[in-house]
Structure 1
Amino acid sequence: MFAEKLSARNFELVCVVMLGFGHLCIMTGCDSQAFILESVIHSIHERDPSTINSHAGYYGQATCYLAFVLTCLLSPTFLYATSAKTTLFIASVCFTSFPLGFLYTNQYYYFFSAALNGVGFALYYTGNGGYLTSHSTRKTLEANVSISWAIGSSCMIVGSAIIALITYFTAGKQNITTDVVEVVGNLTTVSAPFERRFSDTEIYLLFSVFAVISGIGNLTFLLLPSSDIDNCIESSKKTVAFRDGIKLMGRAMISPKMFILIPMFILTGVHTSFWVSIYPTTLTFNSYLSSMIYLPAIYSLGVGLGETIMGMFISFMSKRVKNFGMLPTLLIGCFLTSLYCLLIVLSTPADAPMAPTNDLPWLFQPTRILVFIIALIGGMSDCCLCSVRSVICAIAMPNRRDQAYSVSKFYQSIGTCVIFFISPFLNIYYYTFGIPILCIIAAVCFYHEARRINLMEQNMTMELDQAAQRKRTSLYETLE
């Protein structure tokens, strides 16, 4: 009934907006907590080392993405057994389990919920791709992906407001000195300050709010319209047996179309681990920034604005430039990613990703404005890479779209998982030099696949035109 009261395009937009809002809710906690997770865990460990490992922030996210990797192999088959809407709802419940663990920190539940979070990631992105393709046409896909992503990525803006408010009421009114005074014998010395630390009250309030907002996401996915649109890219009504689903996934894994895109998928994963957790951690581990307690909120705001602005830009350009959501968007994303890395390497102490440090960066210390600019660029670059991945997976393998989404997330999560496992041992240079090199490799490989798709679509258009011409000629001869 609801769908019948709206035009086809308006119904598409309602579905896409609700999908984006659900994304916003479940990712508000997921992304915002990732910005501060290593620092929060380090603060808990400093107060009670027996509670949790000091690097559990990185290791927990590594566990999350390891579960993500494994679940990606089965998530398309799970989608066939249920529906995109049900898959999204179950995924959102998995996300909600993680922030609840910080109401009473327990190392065992922490790693269990981190793994459950990884399961949620795999199910969510499979369900997201399935829902988009059943509620988009080929002409509206690029715009719908960008709209959904722009709305969902506003989660960082919401997260920044939450972090700023709770920081103000729990830590902002405290007298925070920029130096630590030590008395040694009869001498008083002034040393560099401690890193930014989070109190138990601050942690409790932050993760309670994240859990509540994630619960709103559960409700949103439960209320999603489920009927497909006319002329959708792929119907949600699939009757595929479990064994056949596994075979389809296996074929997609070894497809040359996916192999050539592996560098792009890995780039997205490595870049995600860097902007979501590793660089934000350097801001709290840099002792000279300990008085800037609002940096996590500033960073979250910048990333959210960058994601939203770029999502709107891609949607606008996709309506006016054919295939703008493919190679042009990827090239913009690679350029912005390289610029992001350049600014970071110039302003970040080398050892800041690994542990609290008093070392100085190459050229200058980050300021609030610089952190905001870096975050803005990082959000814009991430939006480009993720939008391209969604579009290419929808059209590269027309008969195995769900599997293509899962393959992309499989390799993306491998990149993220590996980086998080080894991140306690990597300084800033590994990321800021390695990621731009990976951008070049990904762009070259993507160019070849994009050219193949363009040729395929041109041939299909010519065949359709020729068939239409033959039909018109036959009709004309019949009339004569």
Structure 2
Amino acid sequence: MNQRRFELLCAALLGFGQLCIMTGFDSESFILESVIHSIHEREPAKISIYAGYYGQAVIYAFYMIACLFSPSIIAVSTPKTNLIIASIFFTAFPLGFLFTNSYYYYASSALLGVGFALFYQGQGGYLTSHSTRRTIESNVSLSWSVGCCCMILGSAIMATITRLSSSSTEIIVESLNSTGEAHKMERQFGELEINLLFSAFTGISVLGIITFFVMPSKDVENCIESSSEKKETFMEAFKLTCSTVVSPKMLQLFPLFVLSGLNTSFWLSVFPTAMSFTMQNSNLIYLAAVYSFAVGSGEVFMGIMISFLSKRIKNFGQKPTMTIGAIFTTAYCILIHLSTAYDAPIKPTSEEPLLFRHSYLLALIIGLICGIGDCCINSVRSVICALVMPKRRAQAFSVSKIYQAFGSCILFFLSPITPLYVYTIGLPILAIIATILFFSIAKRTQITERKMTEASRNAAEIGKKLNL
């Protein structure tokens, strides 16, 4: 097998492992607050009504803290080891819903936050050790697009299980409607549906553990950064991470990283919860599955396009991709603003939207646009972290995730009191700011790379003349 095929195999396996562990997490995030809301209404003492939001806030709080130490951990381990440990933590989270308990729920949320930090540090390290400068954009996009098939798989699981348990779901909805209490007419999840869903998510996460365990770990020739060469000790890497947090380049990219966190948390959890809390959607029991399928399809499509165009257009994975991401983020926020009640993310509501109601078709359109925009933003983040600080790549990846997790953590803590319009207006504004600042630093990075290439070429020419 030649090197390029080996790189593609490694990127695909990395993406497949991501697919397995993220199928559970992403699908859970779509329905988590609604599921916990349903459990609370049946057994109020078992778990608090907003534990879905607060649990995700705990995830991202521990994620943010763990990101400070993840470069130090990878300095004394390997990307593959990080990926295996992370996948175990991801598997522990859905397992808890088979015996719902508040203590286990928050403890597994904290572990999942640590798992996030280890996974993304391992993912970044694995990609840079299995890519060259010429193939990094293509490999990142391929891995990301394969990984994002998790939402397509998750939608199939949710649709199938919802279908199998639809009779119990319909009984719950009808019985709640018959009481005349309007606030309980939102989409409900029955106990059978919850058990089947989270059993499936646990099983697919176990497959992720196996994938990470068997995938190749050997570095490729002329890789961006070798995983076998340890340049720092644990404490040296930690100090380097702390200094990177406040480096001018990272601070200039702060809006991009925070946008990534806020945007992902909004489309992954807040908007699906808003659809579930909208009373007019109580009979649209496949809405979450359709939306998940659409987002996954948009992510995969755009990932393939970025990978394809990066081979033909130099630096397509930077400024052009960022522009597309900002445009599509603004577009899906406008559609959500017009079709969703302002208080829908906070509580079950019967308020009418500004222009039109949700439907399967609208969920499909919003999901596709959202997936395309999110893929662009995440691809840009991965590429710029691999290039902007060549001597601190592990730290750059980690700091990007610290800022991303910070945005997500704040969003989830405030979600129980934040109206929808704060998100739909704030995200497009932040996307514009992030794009302007990204253009500036991407231009400087390209100039630096050009100078380094010219210096290497001149050195090679001088060496040839000396040999003659």
Q: State the TM-score, normalizing by the size of structure 1.
A: 0.94
User: Corresponding residue for 1:360?
Assistant: 352
Structure 1 portions without partners, runs of 5+: 1-5, 184-188
- Answer yes or no: is the 8 Å Cα contact 2:80–2:122 preserved in 1: yes
2:113 to 89, 93, 118: 118
User: Corresponding residue for 1:312?
Assistant: 304
Task: Provide the secondary structure at the position in 2 that maps to 1:113.
Answer: helix
1:145-185: CA deviation from partner (whole Å, max 9, x where unpaired): 000000000000000000000000101576577897658xx
Task: Provide the secondary structure at the position in 2 that maps to 1:400.
Answer: helix
Task: Provide the secondary structure at the position in 2 that maps to 1:321.
Answer: coil
Alpha-carbon offset, residue 461 of structure 1: 2.2
Alpha-carbon offset, residue 460 of structure 1: 1.6
What amino acid is the match of 1:297?
A
Task: Provide the secondary structure at the position in 2 that maps to 1:236.
Answer: coil
User: Corresponding residue for 2:267?
Assistant: 275
1:279-306: CA deviation from partner (whole Å, max 9, x where unpaired): 0001110001100000010011001101
1:210 to 201, 209, 214: 201
User: Corresponding residue for 1:196?
Assistant: 187
Task: Provide the secondary structure at the position in 1 that maps to 2:23.
Answer: helix
User: Corresponding residue for 1:101?
Assistant: 96
Q: What CA distance in whole angstroms lies between the structure 2 residues aligned with 1:180 and 1:365?
A: 22
Q: What CA distance in whole angstroms lies between the structure 2 residues aligned with 1:398 and 1:168?
A: 50
Q: What CA distance in whole angstroms lies between the structure 2 residues aligned with 1:352 and 1:364?
A: 14
Q: Does 1:16 align with 2:11?
A: yes
1:450 to 425, 442, 453: 442
Matches within 5 A, 1:64-463: 64-171=59-166, 175=170, 194-239=185-230, 240-463=232-455
What amino acid is the match of 2:439?
Y
Q: How many residues align?
A: 466
Q: What CA distance in whole angstroms lies between the structure 2 residues aligned with 1:65 and 1:173?
A: 34
Alpha-carbon offset, residue 274 of structure 1: 0.3
Q: What CA distance in whole angstroms lies between the structure 1 residues aligned with 2:63 and 2:116?
A: 6
Q: What CA distance in whole angstroms lies between the structure 1 residues aligned with 2:203 and 2:438?
A: 40
Once the two structures are overlaid, the 10-residue window that deviates more, 407-416 or 450-459, is 450-459
Task: Provide the secondary structure at the position in 2 that maps to 1:221.
Answer: helix
Once the two structures are overlaid, the 10-residue window that deviates more, 457-466 or 351-360, is 457-466
- Answer yes or no: is the 8 Å Cα contact 1:283–1:289 preserved in 2: yes
Once the two structures are overlaid, the 10-residue window that deviates more, 456-465 or 301-310, is 456-465
- Answer yes or no: is the 8 Å Cα contact 1:61–1:417 preserved in 2: yes
Matches within 5 A, 1:36-55: 36-55=31-50
1:341-360: CA deviation from partner (whole Å, max 9, x where unpaired): 00000000110000000000
Q: What CA distance in whole angstroms lies between the structure 1 residues aligned with 2:157 and 2:178?
A: 35
1:342-379: CA deviation from partner (whole Å, max 9, x where unpaired): 00000001100000000000001011101111011111
1:27-74: CA deviation from partner (whole Å, max 9, x where unpaired): 000000100000000000000111111000000000000000000000
Q: What CA distance in whole angstroms lies between the structure 1 residues aligned with 2:264 and 2:10?
A: 27
Q: What CA distance in whole angstroms lies between the structure 2 residues aligned with 1:168 and 1:468?
A: 65
Alpha-carbon offset, residue 471 of structure 1: 4.0
- Answer yes or no: is the 8 Å Cα contact 1:77–1:242 preserved in 2: yes
Q: What CA distance in whole angstroms lies between the structure 2 residues aligned with 1:417 and 1:172?
A: 37
Which runs of structure 1 show a deviation greater than 6 angstroms over 4 or more consecutive aligned residues? 176-181, 189-193
Once the two structures are overlaid, the 10-residue window that deviates more, 457-466 or 209-218, is 457-466
Q: What CA distance in whole angstroms lies between the structure 2 residues aligned with 1:61 and 1:165?
A: 26
What amino acid is the match of 2:444?
R
Task: Provide the secondary structure at the position in 2 that maps to 1:73.
Answer: helix
* Greater per-residue helix proportion: 2
- Answer yes or no: is the 8 Å Cα contact 2:297–2:368 preserved in 1: yes
1:49-101: CA deviation from partner (whole Å, max 9, x where unpaired): 11111000000000000000000000011111211001000000000000000
Q: What CA distance in whole angstroms lies between the structure 1 residues aligned with 2:272 and 2:384?
A: 30
- Answer yes or no: is the 8 Å Cα contact 1:22–1:217 preserved in 2: yes
Alpha-carbon offset, residue 466 of structure 1: 2.8
Alpha-carbon offset, residue 473 of structure 1: 4.7
Task: Provide the secondary structure at the position in 2 that maps to 1:146.
Answer: helix
* Alpha-carbon spacing, 1:231–1:172, altered in 2? closer, same or farther (3 Å): farther
Q: What CA distance in whole angstroms lies between the structure 1 residues aligned with 2:393 and 2:199?
A: 37
* Alpha-carbon spacing, 1:175–1:218, altered in 2? closer, same or farther (3 Å): closer
What amino acid is the match of 1:444?
I
Q: Does 1:29 align with 2:24?
A: yes
Q: What CA distance in whole angstroms lies between the structure 1 residues aligned with 2:298 and 2:177?
A: 40
- Answer yes or no: is the 8 Å Cα contact 1:182–1:191 preserved in 2: no
- Answer yes or no: is the 8 Å Cα contact 1:193–1:288 preserved in 2: no
User: Corresponding residue for 1:186?
Assistant: none
* Alpha-carbon spacing, 1:441–1:302, altered in 2? closer, same or farther (3 Å): same
What amino acid is the match of 2:55?
G
Q: What CA distance in whole angstroms lies between the structure 1 residues aligned with 2:253 and 2:273?
A: 30
Task: Provide the secondary structure at the position in 2 that maps to 1:230.
Answer: coil
CA RMSD of aligned residues (A): 1.7
Q: State the TM-score, normalizing by the size of structure 2.
A: 0.97
Q: What CA distance in whole angstroms lies between the structure 2 residues aligned with 1:252 and 1:68?
A: 17
